[in-house]
Structure 1
Amino acid sequence: MPGHSSSSNALQYFGVIAAIFGVIGYVAFGWQFGETDSTIALALGVTCVSIAVGWELYRRVA
């Protein structure tokens, strides 16, 4: 349901790691979404969205 946190420790750890990776990339390397040469930021975003959608579909089917 929307608004409920996940009870999966693996997803929570992945989210924390992705957030730290994104913040370090922004501060240290100037990564930003929407730039024409932001390949790493785009890859991080696509990976996170793919995992979130895949997990949600898995939960609904299981």
Structure 2
Amino acid sequence: TGAGSEVMQRIAVPMIGGMVSSTALTLVVIPAIYALIKGFGLPQKSEVKLELNGTIHAAP
């Protein structure tokens, strides 16, 4: 309620919307796109398994 308050209210709504949408983009959308591109889970490493009878097998 003062000089320029109408202008400030018009500026505040898009600014708050931009802050909310950028937060959602950073926390939800970007990690989801990264997961789609890189795949879910950790990469599988090839392991060598030594059995009790002394034979060596590559892990599947």
TM-score by length of 1: 0.38
Larger radius of gyration: 2
Higher relative contact order (CA 8 A, sep 6+): 1
Give the structure with the larger helix fraction. Answer: 1
Give the structure with the larger strand fraction. Answer: 2
